[in-house]
Amino acid sequence: MLIANVHLARIVRPTLNRHLLLALGAAVVLVAISEQIGAYDDYNLTAVAIFAVAAAGLTLLTGLNGQLSLGHGALMAVGAYTASLLLKDHQLPVVVVLLLAVLTTGIVGIIFGYAAARLRGPYLAGATLSLAVALPQIATRYKNIFGGDAGLSVPASAPPAWLGADFPPERWLAWIALAAALVTMVLLGNVLHSSVGRSFIAVRDNEAAAALAGIDVARTQVLAFVISASCAGLAGALFGYWSGVTAPAGFGLGLSLQLITAIVIGGLGSLAGAVWGSIVLVFVPSLTSGMASSLNVPSSVANNVPLAIYGATLVIAMLVAPHGIQGALKRLLALARARWGHSPASGKKGVMDWDDPAPGP
């Protein structure tokens, strides 16, 4: 038993292995879930995965590197338009499209990252906010390239033949999005546990001290921006597949604000928080709109109940759970541990370890 434990520890100890195992476990569970649910829920599951990719990238930038971006929706637009333009004239495999979208958005991220590295706090917020408003306008303006307000259509990716002829395309898309999300999580999880991740946090906490410790502050900030933008690009390309059309209206200011909301509600600075936030983002509105339509009130009221509840939820969440869902879960776990004595290694493994890196040795 003891020897088995030691062997297990050797496999589980390295960060990469642990994250891969976690991702594998999650993949099995998620595929099983997607087999059980209908097309509509598959569609929602895809949305959660897409938001999780973008939110994970944003939490790296905002939560761990301290750069507030209100313009990630615009970066998603870059990814989505890359995918649509690629698919306009060519038939390309999904993986190629996604990778090229990541690459393009990463390059755009370098440009904006350099600008962003000079700005702090509200000034960065203002600059990224105007990016979120301006970028969709370019698509409106250059109609012959980007299709104007109507946008470009994105052909669905057909499920491969070996899955059978009647395999639902919604489930196939859910698989793609979930795979992308898990790959993103594993990669980001490893970045966060590396020296790069620690330098992100050092820069966030104290730029002066980080610089004194030999960290190139500006370069670290640009790197964080590029990684974060690449995630947004991936999410954007998936978003294109998911909605079937890439149009400026889909990438307005609202999307950027939803993303920032997701990471704060979920728990700023942890990848698990990004997932929680994405779940809230997708399921709370659909829950509340179902609730509102069952109420017996005039439509002008019923139509706005979900938004009102959403807004009130944000306010109340910030008042009662300032560290988001992940923070609340951690506190619950700590309480439980204090109450029932601590079980060995309970804090080291499992979901809780997705998030911020353990303090260094």
Partner 1 sequence: MSRFFILTLDGLTQGAIYAAVALALVLIWRATKVINFAQGAMAMFTTYLALFAIDHGAPYWLGFVVALLSGLLLGAIVERVIVRPVESAPPLNVVILTLGLLLFFEALAPMLFGGQIRSFPPAFSIVGLHVGNSQVAFSAFDAFTLGSVLAVMILLLVLFQRTNLGLRMRASAFNPEVSRLLGIRVGRMLTLGWALASLVGALAGVLIAPTFLLYPNVMDQVLVFGFTGAVLGGLDSAVGAVIGGLLIGFALSYVGGYLGSDLETVGALVILIAVLMVRPRGLFSLQRLREV
Cβ closest to partner 1, residue 134 vs residue 158:
134
- CB 86 to partner 1: min, Å: 24
- CB 265 to partner 1: min, Å: 7
Cβ closest to partner 1, residue 195 vs residue 303:
303
Cβ closest to partner 1, residue 300 vs residue 343:
300
- DSSP alpha helices (H): ranges in the chain? 2-12, 15-36, 39-58, 72-89, 94-116, 121-141, 143-146, 169-192, 195-205, 207-212, 217-243, 253-266, 271-294, 299-302, 305-320, 324-340
- CB 358 to partner 1: min, Å: 21
- CB 122 to partner 1: min, Å: 5
Cα–Cα distance list, 84 to 2, 128, 143, 286 (Å):
55, 24, 14, 28
Q: The dihedral of CA 335, 336, 342, 343: what is its sign?
A: negative
Cβ closest to partner 1, residue 16 vs residue 209:
209
Residue 227 corresponds to which tokens in the numbers above? 């990684």
Cβ closest to partner 1, residue 43 vs residue 310:
310
Cα–Cα distance list, 336 to 160, 324, 330, 356 (Å):
47, 18, 10, 21
User: Cα separation of 51 and 73, whole Å?
Assistant: 11
Q: Which residues contact 258 (CB under 8 A, 6 or more apart)?
A: 51, 73, 281
Query: Which residues contribute to the site for partner 1 (CB under 8 A)?
Result: 62, 68, 115, 118-123, 125-127, 129-131, 133-134, 137-138, 140-141, 207-208, 211-212, 253, 257, 260-261, 264-265, 268, 300-301, 303-308, 310-315, 317-319, 322
Cβ closest to partner 1, residue 301 vs residue 334:
301
- CB 311 to partner 1: min, Å: 3
Residue 176 corresponds to which tokens in the numbers above? 């793609």
- CB 279 to partner 1: min, Å: 17
